[in-house]
Amino acid sequence: MTASDPGTAHPDPKEWLLDPETEYRFELDPGTSLAIKLVRGHAEIFGAELAEGKTYLFGLECKAAVFTWQGCTLEMRCPSTEYVSEETPMTAYANLHMAFEQMRVRALAALHGSPTSDDINNANTEPPRILILGPENSGKTTICKILSNYAVRVGQNWSPLLVNVDPSQGAWTVPGTISAVAIRSPIATVSPANQLGSAATSAPTALASNALIPLTYWYGHAETKRNPQLLDRLIRDLGMNIVERYDTDPEARVSGLIIDTPSSFASGPSSASSTDSRHTLIKACIDAFRINVILVVGHEKLNAEMQRLHGSHLTVVKIPKSGGVVELDHSYRERVRNYQLHAYMYGQNIDPPFDIPSAIVGGEAATELILSPSSTVMKFGDLAIYRIGEETMAPSSALPIGATRVLSEIQPTIIDPASSSSKLLNKVLALLAPFNADENERYDEEILDLHVIGFLIITNHDIPNKKMTVLAPNQGSLVGRTAVIGSFEWTE
Q: How far apart are CA 161 and CA 214, in angstroms?
A: 10
| Residue 73 near residue 41, CB atoms below 8 Å | yes
Helix extents (H) in 250-329: 250-253, 272-289, 300-310
Strands (E), 94-209: 129-133, 161-164, 177-182
Q: What are phi and psi of 382, to 5 degrees?
A: -75, -25
| Residue 22 near residue 65, CB atoms below 8 Å | no
137 assigned to a ligand binding site = yes
Q: What is the DSSP letter of 382?
A: G
CA distances from 137 to 108, 324, 455 (A): 35, 10, 28
Q: Which residues contact 266 (CB under 8 A, 6 or more apart)?
A: 133, 134, 135, 136, 138, 278, 296, 299, 302
Q: How far apart are CA 350 and CA 289, in angstroms?
A: 36
138 assigned to a ligand binding site = yes
Per residue, what are the HEC states of 184-198?
CCCCCCCCHHHECEC
Pairing, β 467-472 against β 129-133: unpaired
37 assigned to a ligand binding site = no
DSSP codes, 194-253: GBTB-BTTTS-TT-GGG-B--EEEE---S-GGG-HHHHHHHHHHHHHHHHHHHHH-HHHH
Other beta carbons less than 10 A from residue 444's beta carbon: 9
141 assigned to a ligand binding site = yes
140 assigned to a ligand binding site = yes
139 assigned to a ligand binding site = yes
358 assigned to a ligand binding site = no
Q: Which residues are annotated as a binding site?
A: 23, 63, 137-142
Residues making up the binding site for ATP: 23, 63, 137-142
